[in-house]
Amino acid sequence: MSQTADSVVDQIDHDHSHAGPRKGPLRWLLTVNHKDVGTMYLVLSLVALLVGGVMALLIRAELFQPGLQLTQPQFFNSLTTMHGITMIFLAIMPGLAGLANWMVPLQIGADDMYWPKVNNWAFWMLPPAAIMLWGTFFMSQGAPGGGWTLYAPLSSTFAPPSIDWVIMAIHIMGISSILGALNIIMTILKMRAKGMRLWDMPLFTWTWLITGFLLLLAMPTLAIAVTMLLTDRHLGTEFFEASGNPVLYQHIFWFFGHPEVYIMILPAFGVVSEIVPAFSRKPLFGRTSMIWAVIAITFMSAIVWAHHMFTVGLPVEGQLLFMYTTMLIAVPTGIKVFNWIATMWRGSMTFEAPMLWALGFIFLFTIGGLSGLMLADVPADYQYQDTYFVVAHLHYVVVTGSLFAIIAGVLFWLPKWTGHMYNETLAKWHFWLSVISVNIAFFPMHFAGLAGMPRRIPDYPMQFMDFNAISTVGAFVFGFSQLLLIWLVIQTIRGGKPAGDRPWDGAKGLEWTLPSPPPYHTFVEPPSQQTVHEEGPHGHH
C-alpha cells in the first residue's frame, strides 16, 4: 500500500517523497500530506469555533435581559439554527478529523493515509460548504430559523428559500465526512505497521476506527432526511406534510442524530484514554473492556433515537423500549469513566495542561451523562423535553465533553507537531478561566429549564431573568478566554523550549519515537517490530 500512497504523493508534488512541502500558497490547495490536511482541518475547526462562538454570544447577549434588545425574533432563530449546525459540522467534527489526520498514521506507523488525494478532496469540500452555509445570512428572508434539527414542515414548506442552500451544504459536508471515514477505516485496517494487531492499537486510533463505521451509518441517513425535505419543497411530495407524516422526519433525523452524538464523543474518549495514562504514568486500566465498551455504545447508539421524541405521541410500548435502551447505554459509558479513574488510582500523577483538560472532561462529561440519565426517564422527560435543561445537558456533553477533549488533544500533541513546548503558565490560566466560566454559563441553565424555560426563545418571562443574566456573563468570559488558546498556539508554533521526541515522560506510542517536529514524510521506513512492541500495550520501557 505504501507504494500507492508514495506514487500519488510523487505525482502531485512532482517531488521526491523524502522532500519537504511544496513552496508557495499552492502547497495547501494541492497537498496530499496527512499532516498538512490535519492542520487545515484544525484551522477550519478553529475558524468555525469563532464564527459559531460569535453567534452564541449574540444569542447570550439578547438573552441577558427580558425584552428584545439586539435581534428580531426571526434573526435570533437563524442564530440558534446556524450556531448548532456550525458547531457540530464545522467545529467539532473537523476538529476531531484534524486530530485523526495528524495522529492515526503516526500512531500506527503508516506513511500517510490510504487515499491521500481523497483526503485532500474531503477537506476542500468543507470551506465551500461553510461559505454556502454562512452565506444564507445574506440571502432574501435571511438564514433558516427552524433549528439545527430542521424539523418539518417548519424547515420544509414553511422555510425561507435559503434552506435549499443549507441542505446543499449539509450534503457536501456529509460526502466529506463519508470520504474521510472510509479513508480512516482503510488506513487503520490496511496500513498498520507489521506487528501491530488490532487489539494492540492505541485507544485514539481504536475509537476513530469505530467512529468511521458509525459515520458510514449516520451520514447517508441524514442525506436521506434532508433530500426528502427538498422533494417536499420542490417536487410536490408530501412526506412530512400534514397529509403525510411530520413525525417520520424526526424518526429519520434522529436515526442519524443520535449516532452523531457518539461520532462527536467516541474520538474524545480516545483522546482522554491517551492522556490519562500518560500523566498517571500507568497503563490504561481495563484496556480490553474499554474497547468493548466503545463497541457496545456504538451498537446501542443506533437503537435509542426516539428518546429525542418522547412528547410526539409515541405508543407507550415505544416509549418504554426507548427508555430501557437509553438507560442501558449508561452502563458501558459508566465503565469508561470507572476505568479512567482506576487508571489514575495509585498512579504517579502530574497536572500539566493536557491532563487538566482531560480531568475537566471526565468530571463535566459525567455531569452531562447524569443529566442524560434523568432525561431518559420518560415521566420526568415530559417536563424536561425542549427546555433549557436539555440545553444544559447537551452543552455539558458537547462543550465540556467533545470540545474539552479536542483542546486536551491539541495541547498533548502540540509539542510533537511544532517541536516546541507551549507556555505552561498561560495554558493553566486558559484552563482555569475556561473551566470556571463554562460552568457559570451552562450550570444555571439546568435551573432555568426545571423552572420552565423553553429552549429556542428570543425573550422570556421575568422569573428566568437571573439565570439568564448569569449564563450570559459566563458565556462571554468563556468565549473571550479562547483568545488565550489562539495566542498560546501561535506562540508555540513560532518558538519555545525544544520539546524533544517524548515531551511527556509517561507517554507511550509510535508517535513519540519520531523527532519533534516530525519530518514532512514519516515512517517511509516502517517502524521495526521491536519498536512496535515496545510502544504497544505489552511493551516496557
Partner 1 sequence: MMWKRLLLTLFTLTASGGIAAQQKESAFNMPVGVTEVSRDAFDMHMLLFWTCVGIGVSVFSVMAWSLYHHRRSRGAKAAKFSENTTVEVVWTIIPVLILTAVTVPATAILLKTNAESPNPDMVVDVHGSQWKWKYVYPEEDISFFSNLATSSRDASQMNPETSPADAPDYLLAVDNPLVVPTDKTIRLRITSDDVIHSWWVPQLGFKLDAVPGSFNNADIRIDEPGTYRGQCAELCGTGHAYMPVVVKALAPPAYAEWVAEKKEAAAKEAAQASGPWTMETAMAQGKKLYASACASCHQANGQGIEGTFPALDGGKITTGPVKGHMDIVIHGSEKNPVMQAYGGQLSDREIAAVVTYERNAWSNDTGDLVTPEAVEAAR
List residues with catalytic annotation: 83, 112, 148, 176-177, 258, 260, 262, 273, 307-308, 333, 336, 455
Q: Which segment (90-98, 110-118, 375-383, 424-432) binds partner 1 by CB under 8 A?
A: 375-383
- Which residue stretch of 4-12, 86-94, 409-417, 443-451 sits at the interface with partner 1 (rule: CB under 8 A)? 443-451
Q: Closest approach of Cβ 417 to partner 1, in Å?
A: 26
Is residue 481 a contact residue for partner 1 (CB under 8 A)? no
Taking the complex as a whole, the smallest distance from the CB of residue 212 to partner 1 amounts, in Å, to 27
**Is position 135 an interface residue for partner 1 (rule: CB under 8 A)?**
no
Pairwise CA distance, residues 150 & 255, whole Å:
14
Instruction: Please list every residue from 187 through 216 that binds partner 1, using CB under 8 A.
Output: none
Q: From CA 438, how far away is CA 472, in angstroms rounded?
A: 10
Beta bridge pairs of residue 454? 387
Q: By CB under 8 A, is residue 379 in contact with partner 1? A: yes
Applying CB under 8 A, among 2, 39, 141, 231 the residue interacting with partner 1 is 141
Among 38, 95, 116, 146, binds partner 1 (CB under 8 A): 146
Annotate 425-452 with three-state secondary structure. Answer: HHHHHHHHHHHHHHHHHHHHHHHHHHCC
The residue whose grid cell reads 471515514 is 181
- Considering only 106, 367, 411, 510, the residue that binds partner 1 (CB under 8 A) is 367
The Cα-based distances of 212 to 111, 115, 136, 501 in angstroms read 20, 15, 30, 29
Per-residue x/- mask for partner 1, residues 152 to 191, rule CB under 8 A?
-xx--xx---------------------------------
Q: By C-beta, is 62 or 111 nearer to partner 1?
A: 62
Rg (CA), the chain: 23
Binding of partner 1 by 380 (CB under 8 A): yes
423, with CB counted inside 10 A (0-12, 13-18, 19+), is middle
The answer to whether 458 contacts partner 1 (rule: CB under 8 A) is: yes
- Does position 454 interact with partner 1 (CB under 8 A)? The reply is yes
Cell representation of residue 43: 484551522
- Binder to partner 1 among 43, 47, 321, 337 (CB under 8 A)? 337
Binds partner 1 (CB under 8 A): choice among 189, 341, 486, 524: 341
Contact flag: residue 236 with partner 1 (CB under 8 A)? no
391 binding partner 1? (CB under 8 A): no
- Asked whether position 288 contacts partner 1 by CB under 8 A, the answer is yes
CB atoms within 10 A of CB 248: 14
Beta carbons of 177 and 96 less than 8 angstroms apart = no
- Neighbour-count burial of 346, counting CB atoms closer than 10 A to its CB (0-12 exposed, 13-18 middle, 19+ buried): exposed
For 498, the grid coordinates are: 525544544
CA distance 41 to 97: 7
Nearest approach, Cβ of residue 160 and partner 1 (Å): 10
Nearest distance in Å: CB 77, partner 1:
7
Query: According to the binding rule CB under 8 A, does residue 58 interact with partner 1?
Result: no
Question: What is d(CA 30, CA 15) in angstroms, rounded to the nearest whole number?
Answer: 13
In the complex with partner 1, the residue whose CB is nearer, 219 or 448, is 448
Minimal distance in Å, beta carbon 231 to partner 1? Answer: 16
Closer Cβ to partner 1, 24 or 379, answer by number: 379
Using CB under 8 A as the binding rule, whether residue 77 contacts partner 1 is answered as yes
Torsion on CA atoms 239, 244, 248, 249, rounded to nearest 10 = 40
282 touching partner 1, by CB under 8 A: yes
Nearest to 13 by CA among 117, 125, 122: 117
Which range in 32-40, 64-72, 83-91, 204-212 contacts partner 1 by CB under 8 A? 64-72
Closest CA to 336 of 399, 271, 281, 400: 271
Q: Considering beta carbons, is residue 316 or 490 the nearer one to partner 1?
A: 316
Of 495 and 539, CB closest to partner 1: 539
Choose, by CB under 8 A, the member of 229, 266, 284, 485 that binds partner 1.
284
Give least dist CB 229 to partner 1, A.
13
Decide if residue 235 touches partner 1 (CB under 8 A). no
Give the nearest distance from C-beta 200 to partner 1 in angstroms: 14
Amino acid symbol at 353: A
CB-wise, 56 or 188, nearer to partner 1?
Answer: 56
The set of cell numbers assigned to 29 is 490547495
Min dist CB 509 to partner 1, Å, is 16
Q: Which stretch binds partner 1 (CB under 8 A): 41-49, 72-80, 112-120, 419-427?
A: 72-80
| CB 516, min distance to partner 1, A | 23
Residue 23, phi then psi, degrees to nearest 5? -85, 150
C-alpha span between 330 and 366 (Å, rounded): 10
* Residue 142 zone, left/alpha/beta (φ > 0; ψ -120 to 50; rest): left
Please name the helix (run of DSSP H) or strand (run of DSSP E) that holds residue 223, with its range, or none: helix 203-234
| Chain Cα centroid distance, residue 187 | 20
Contact 278, 504 (CB under 8 A): yes
Options 6-14, 195-203, 341-349, 470-478: segment touching partner 1 (CB under 8 A): 341-349
Please state, as a whole number, how many other Cβ atoms lie within 10 Å of the Cβ of residue 199.
Answer: 11
Inter-residue contact 31 to 114 (CB < 8 Å)? no
CB of 471 to partner 1, least distance (A): 14
- 541 is a contact residue toward partner 1 (CB under 8 A): no
What is the footprint of partner 1 within residues 238-257 (CB under 8 A)?
241-247
One-letter amino acid of 40: M
Q: How many chain residues touch partner 1 (CB under 8 A)?
A: 96
Picking from 155, 140, 144, the residue whose alpha carbon sits closest to that of residue 229 is 155
Residue closer to partner 1, measured from CB, 198 or 331: 331
Q: How far is the CB of 373 from partner 1 (least distance, A)?
A: 6
